[in-house]
A and B are shown apart, each in its own frame.
Chain A
Amino acid sequence: MDDLQFRRSIYADPHSKDEKLEQAKAEDPKKKKFAQDIEQLDLKILEALKVPVPEDLSNKLILRQTLNSHQQQTKKKRVHLALAASVAFAFGLTINMMNFSSAYNNIGDYAFAHVAHEADHFSNTGEANVTLASLNKKMASFNGSFDTTMGELMFADYCRFDGMKSLHLVFKGTNNPVNVFVIPQSEHLEFNSDFSNNDLQGKTQRFKDANIIIVGDKSEQLKTWQQNIKQNVSWSI
């Protein structure tokens, strides 16, 4: 190993355990001396590089981390809470939708369902004891009034018509009771003017503030009923 190469290697790494370097040191006292000088230099460099480290640095590092991970944990807990709340909220919303969204798409379907549901309560032989005054009191909330009771009125009261406040009237019909619903203009039920199923038929007429639905059995002349209503109901502004 030539001198220059030796010096370069020692300068680059004074503590190298390279065999060729060891051998060169053993063979040449000058090289050995040089290597020792550089080792001395390196000790000085090491001393100089060892700048004083702030005494409390390690404690600071540990403390800061502890605080930090504590904060993160609290944050995590908050995230979990928020997640749980969101899930609960979504769950509630779904239940709500299922309960209160209408299962019926149009007026006719719901009217039939309503009539069928209450069919047991009304018979054609019931007493017709509703007065015109009490009928009109109820009709007032739809801005309308009847001139007469249009026949034998057995029942008149507010009903929920697929979630909407409506007035449900039951008249004595030819064979079976005739149901009349006064409902507000509906947005979520499709309007249909004529509808029927196996037993029942129905008609709807649109008025200024309300729709009036008539449901009766197949033997009923609904057209006459509709005419009657048109003539008997007057709407206030």
Chain B
Amino acid sequence: MIKKIFGNKKSSAQVSSNMATKQVRYEALVKGLHADLYRYAYWLCHEKQVAEDLVQETFLRAWRALDSLKDEKAAKSWLITILRRENARRFERKRFEMSEYEEATITDTQSLSSEQDIENHWLREKINSLPEEYREPLVLQVIGGFSGEEIANLLSLNKNTVMTRLFRARNQLKEALEKEPEARSTYNG
């Protein structure tokens, strides 16, 4: 009887080897996906520090629930789901602190050295001024590499809605780019 109770216990070597496997899995997830996740978070909240906090919180939760992740291929959408939930929670917590952010604070403070940087910077502002509901599917598609169907699942929307939003997002950016020469000159001036 006593042997039965205590016999069930895994040997400590086994436990630590399980821990080691878990650690390896976790580190692989972090290395493989932290950049995408950070960028997604950034486009969700527009603030570097908040994005970093979100990613940290997400990976912490991921660690705790790591055993429930059976399919490594699903890891990215799994993490994104956690991060979206964390982001929503942030709004629940800090509703009273919410305010319209200044457009100027969105842009990063990196020095714009090359033509490419200037263009990126300009386009970032345009992406930022897209409605949230257009921007999120676009980020998921371009950065996350998700299909329309996967995005629909992640955002709990139907696929047609997602495709329409993607179309509008690119359409608006295209139009903005076509007006670019004037826009850019006012920007530089």
On A, residues with C-beta under 8 Å from B are 8-9, 11-14, 38, 41-42, 44-54, 57-58, 60-62, 64-66, 68-69
Residues of A close to B31: CB separation below 8 A: 58
Chain B: residues with CB nearer than 8 A to chain A?
19, 23, 26-27, 30-31, 34-35, 38-39, 42-43, 48, 52, 55-56, 59-60, 63, 108, 110, 116, 119-120, 123-124, 127, 138-139, 141-143, 148, 163-164, 166-168, 170-171, 173-174, 177
Bound Cα distance A38, B119 (Å): 16
In the complex, besides A44-B123, A51-B108, 9 extra interface pairs with C-beta distance below 8 angstroms are A12-B167, A13-B141, A38-B174, A41-B173, A49-B43, A49-B142, A50-B143, A53-B35, A64-B60
Q: How far is the CB of A126 from chain B (nearest CB, A)?
A: 54
Q: Which residues of A contact B170 (CB under 8 A)?
A: 11-12, 14, 38, 41-42, 45
Instruction: Evaluate contact between B56 and A48: CB separation under 8 angstroms.
Output: no
B residues in contact with A14, CB < 8 Å? 170
CB distance from B24 to the nearest CB of A (A): 11
Compute how far the CA of A230 lies from the CA of B39 in the bound complex, rounded to whole angstroms.
98
- The answer on a CB contact under 8 Å between A54 and B139 is no
Interface of A is mostly: helix
Contact yes or no, B108 A52, CB < 8 A: yes
- The total number of A-B Cβ pairs within 8 Å is 101
Q: Closest approach, in angstroms, between the C-beta of B63 and any C-beta of chain A?
A: 5
- A58-B34 Cα distance, complex, nearest whole Å: 6
In angstroms, Cα B56 to Cα A53, docked, is 13
Given contacts A13-B163, A38-B170, A54 and B38 within 8 Å (CB-CB): yes
**Contact with B39, one of A13, A51, A66 (Cβ below 8 angstroms):** A51
Closest chain A CB from B173 CB (angstroms): 7
Once the chains bind, are B166 and A53 in contact (CB under 8 Å)?
no
25 A–B contacts from the bound complex (CB under 8 Å)? A8-B163, A11-B167, A11-B170, A12-B166, A13-B148, A38-B170, A42-B142, A44-B123, A45-B170, A48-B124, A48-B127, A51-B38, A51-B42, A51-B108, A57-B35, A58-B30, A58-B34, A61-B34, A61-B55, A62-B27, A62-B30, A64-B59, A65-B60, A65-B63, A69-B19
